[in-house]
Amino acid sequence: MRIYFQSRFLLVGLLGFFSGLPLALTGATLTAWLADAKVDRAAIGLFAAVATPYAFKFLWSPLLDGVRLPWLNARLGRRRSWLVLTQLLLVVAMVLMGATDPALNPWLTGLAAVFVATLSATQDTVIDAYRVELLTPDEQGTGAAAATFGYRIAMLISGAGGLYAADQFGWHSTYLLMACIMALGLLVTLAAREAVTSESAKKLHSVRAFFVEYVAAPFRDFMTRPHWLAILAFVILYKLGDAFMGVMFNPFLLDLGFTKTQIAEIVKFYGLIATLIGSFVGGAVVGRVSLFRALFLSGLLHMATNLLLVVQAKLGANAHFLIASISLENFTGGMSTTAFVAYLALLTKRHYTATQYALLSSLAAFGRTWLSTPSGALAKLVGWEIFFAIASLMAIPGLMTLMWLERKKRAA
């Protein structure tokens, strides 16, 4: 455990925190807000599309690799200058989102949430690139665990903390509070040092040269990998089932009769502890067995524990069973997330870190956004039990793709 207290891993954990803070505010916390405002269940499912920027952040990621911000770049460096600008805008966006009212105009709330998600996706891209450049290839598994630790703590703050605050002070004050916490990220960014890489951004003097160097080249480089299409398919499919059920999880618990406070105490608290333990276990597993085995084992276990929600749907608002099921599900989820993040990091080339990592993480987010938008309609059509059974089994295509890639690798 001593390695996690080294300065660079503490920094990675802190940046992971500010990376994760806005996500719940446009995801699980937002769906709880919508359910509390009596927005239709099918419409809540459509709000998964709010996270579209996470799926398309690779479109503007070349700017983060190749464009130097005036004045800021000379004082902070390429990564930190973009991070400071993004975090400033993100604080403003979160304040504006909190000023809306989904009961009166849910689409205005959705528009504000898209603004927050766009800036959050941009911040994620910069932080991911910074982490990959800061750490050596052998440290990526440990770095993924540290980043996941910070990320999950932040989701506790904006998830469970958001529900607590909403019960006490209302939703508008909750989003204002989260914006104030987000502002602390600026202090972390200013205190950090710029990552030193062997290849820095080149000075290009034309749009064509920029396009060739920072748009075409990263994608061309990735397509030189054997079975690159299968790799992209795996990235999309690996977390698909988890994402599909995640959209409707809070509405599911509220529908069973759990209160917002119970959700905060059980799901967020016990779930966080289990996720953090699972993340560290995942980091240890990645360091001791092949990445294929870590991905397959954790993915299979996570699919199995997701099926416990079918039992939860039968039992209703049984708090004891929810504690057990959430603990197991989040433990295996923490393992699989750490292995997956390490896998994405090792696929990137350092000269194109932001663009290639953004492409891969965007594809992973694609399943969480557009492919999961029918979740509300499906839950309404078939009921909670069948819905969670279907969502759990959605992990099978990703695991099969992983097995195919491993067989091809061994054959080569």
The domain that holds 390 is classified in CATH as 1.20.1250.20
* Three-state DSSP class for residue 406: helix
The b-or-e profile of 186-202 (16+ CB within 10 A means b, else e) is beebeebeebebeeebe
Q: How many domains does the chain fold into?
A: 1
% of the chain with per-residue pLDDT over 70: 96
Does residue 201 carry a pLDDT above 70?
Answer: no
Output the CA torsion sign for 233, 238, 242, 243: negative
Domain, as residue range, for 99: 2-411
pTM above 0.85, yes or no: no
106-146 pLDDT, tens per residue? 888 889 999 999 999 999 999 998 998 888 877 887 888 88
Length of the chain as a residue count: 412
Q: What is the C-alpha separation between 100 and 187, in angstroms, rounded?
A: 28
Per-residue pLDDT at 268 exceeds 90: no
Percentage of the chain surpassing pLDDT 90?
28
Highest average pLDDT, of 44-48, 209-213, 394-398, comes from: 394-398
Matching residue, tokens 């965007």 = 362
Which of 279, 268, 390 lies closest to 339, judged by CA? 279
Residue, of 244 and 17, whose pLDDT is higher: 17
Examine the pLDDT at 199 and tell me if it is beyond 50.
no
pLDDT tens column, 275-326: 889 988 888 888 788 888 999 999 999 999 989 999 998 898 888 899 999 9
